Amino acid sequence: MRIPTYLAIALLEASAVFAVPSWSSSEHLPLLSPRVAAGRASKRPNHPIAPKHPGRHFPASPPRTKTCYVKSNGNGKDDSAYVLKAIKDCNNGGHVVFERGKKYTVGTALDLTFLKHIDLDIQGTIQFSNDTDYWQKYAFKQVFQNATTFFQLGGTDVNVYGGGTLDGNGQVWYDLYAKDIYILRPILFGTIGLHGGKIEDINMRYSPQWYNLVANSTDVVFSNITISGASTNSNPAKNTDGWDTYRSSNIVIQNSHIDNGDDCVSFKPNSTDIVVQNLVCNGSHGISVGSLGQYIGEVDIVKNIYVYNISMSNASDGARIKVWPGISSALSGDLQGGGGSGAVSNITYDTMSIANVDYAIEITQCYGQKNLTLCNQFPSNLTISDVTIKKFTGTTSKKYDPLVGYLVCSSPKTCSNIKIEDVDVRSPTGKNGYQCGSIPGIETQVNCTKTG
């Protein structure tokens, strides 16, 4: 369908909300003035879930039938009211455009858990304000690990794309955290209670801590996301995980580039049926299951995870499973736990190339407990079973040379069927030793050169 150019312009000038299919105006692009052209809606991307698939169905997302443009003050003043208005106007079947070249400032915590059949087309930049007092008070408290988020996006059938950027204004937070580790730093992107959605072609920058929390969600795909943002001074950007999944299932994270300083992806309690594939991770703590078993009385389940085709460089770990022991332990002042129960099962890490990574593989059931005697005395209440780690290549860093991996459970009873196959990873001096402990049959699979 074509609509006459004069009508398209008249509609654009008359109202921010109009009812033409979102893809129709781009055909007239050369005839439109630059200001109007900048406002055109992008076509929804269609990145396939490939090559692996979690096996479950993802619901279809019908086309949108109206478009709403988000206004901006353009001077650093809070644009949240404009954002909320456009989203409300276009909820239930519309397409919201954050225009290319424009900067939107968000200084108000936005509860977007009411979304339904809507596309958020972020072409410009959304920057969260640097008012650390406000955000510490009003960012959404997700309870788990004291996590808070700038906004929470949830509902059903939501697509986010457009090639634009979300900027967490992290530096003020890195500086504040250096003075006080107990401050609550918001997570950049909160996917909370989303059922059916795709987040694609988005750049995420300078998150105060984790970049993504995916909680209480099902059937969500992240594709073609770039993550980066380092501190510009000596105060490090800490805990900048790429993704953390929690109480979520049927999730895909793929085709993305992550430059960060903590887990590239982390499967937290009750993460099931997840595929992570085709990622380039640099500077991270690896693709991690856990930490789990942190809280006494809680049951943590992580199962049916497939991690495929990852490039991992300048990292502390490649594949990692971290479980707290059965006794209360501390990793740092703001990270302690132990004694929780549950199960990690059916986890596959298939194809990873590593470069300058401290441990290619690390499995521990003594997380946060340096005293291994004590850890073995109080074995973890969380079992690890049916884990396959295969087709790893590359060279570790010199940190643990001659070791390239660490495979330590807290008791032979708590870990079973752990397979390491076709792993060709060497230390810089050409060795391939592993520290092994309490994993039945592990010594027939790798060179255990140290036990503990």
Ligand X SMILES: *[C@@H]1O[C@H](CO)[C@@H](O)[C@H](O)[C@H]1NC(C)=O
Residues at the site binding ligand X, with contacts judged by CB under 6 A: 45, 51, 55, 76, 130, 142-146, 163, 172, 182, 192, 201, 203, 215-216, 224, 247, 259, 269-270, 278, 280, 282-283, 296-299, 301, 304-306, 309, 311, 313-314, 326, 334, 339, 341, 346, 348, 356, 371, 373-374, 377, 379, 381, 432, 446-447
Give, for 269, the enclosing helix (H) or strand (E).
Answer: none
Considering the complex, what minimum distance in angstroms separates the CB of residue 266 from ligand X? Answer: 15
* Contact (CB, 8 A) for 362 and 393: no
Q: Under the phi-then-psi rule, with left for phi > 0, alpha for psi from -120 to 50, and beta for the rest, what region is 80?
A: alpha
Least separation in angstroms between residue 1's CB and ligand X is: 25
Measured from the CB atom, is 4 or 430 closer to ligand X?
A: 430
Q: Are 258 and 281 in contact (CB under 8 A)?
A: yes
- Tell me the helix, strand and coil percentages in the chain, rounded to 5: 15, 50, 35
Comparing CB distances to ligand X, the nearer of 12 and 22 is 22
The distance of closest approach from Cβ of residue 234 to ligand X in the complex, given in angstroms and rounded to an integer, is 14
Closest CB to ligand X among 89 and 175?
A: 175
Count of Cβ atoms closer than 10 Å to residue 331 Cβ? 16
Identity of the residue, 179 or 182, whose beta carbon is nearer to ligand X in the bound complex:
182
> How far apart are alpha carbons 3 and 9 in whole angstroms?
10
Q: Considering beta carbons, is residue 73 or 377 the nearer one to ligand X?
A: 377
Q: Which amino acid is at 300?
A: D
Residue 446 CA neighbour count, 13 Å, CB half: 35
DSSP 316: E
Do residues 126 and 86 lie in contact, with contact meaning Cβ atoms separated by under 8 Å? Answer: no
285 is annotated as an active-site residue: yes
Considering beta carbons, is residue 33 or 46 the nearer one to ligand X?
46
The amino acid present at 244, given as its one-letter code, is D
Nearest to ligand X by Cβ — which residue? 283
- Min dist CB 402 to ligand X, Å, is 10
Radius of gyration over every alpha carbon of the chain, rounded to an integer in angstroms: 23
Indicate the residue among 79 and 259 with the shorter CB distance to ligand X: 259
Any residues with CB less than 8 A from the CB of 4 and at least 6 apart, and which? none
For residue 362, the minimal CB distance to ligand X (Å) is: 17
The residue whose two tokens read 């977007």 is: 112
> In whole angstroms, what is the distance from residue 423 CA to residue 442 CA?
13
Catalytic residue among 28, 95, 117, 285: 285
Question: Tokens standing for 194?
Answer: 């989303």
Q: Least separation, in Å, of the C-beta of 147 and ligand X? A: 7
Task: For the beta carbon of residue 391, count every other beta carbon within 10 angstroms.
Answer: 15
Residue 298 near residue 268 (C-beta atoms within 8 A): no
Residue 409, CA distances (Å) to 260, 261, 335, 376 in order: 28, 26, 21, 8
State the residue for tokens 């006494």. Answer: 296
Give the shortest CB-86-to-ligand X separation in angstroms.
21
* Enclosing H/E stretch for 134: helix 132-138
* Minimum separation from the CB atom of position 4 to ligand X (A): 30
Residue 8 or 326 with smaller CB distance to ligand X: 326
- How many Å is the maximal CA-CA distance in the chain? 78
Q: In 3D, which of 262, 383, 378, 390 has the Cα closest to residue 328? A: 378
The residues annotated as belonging to the active site are 285
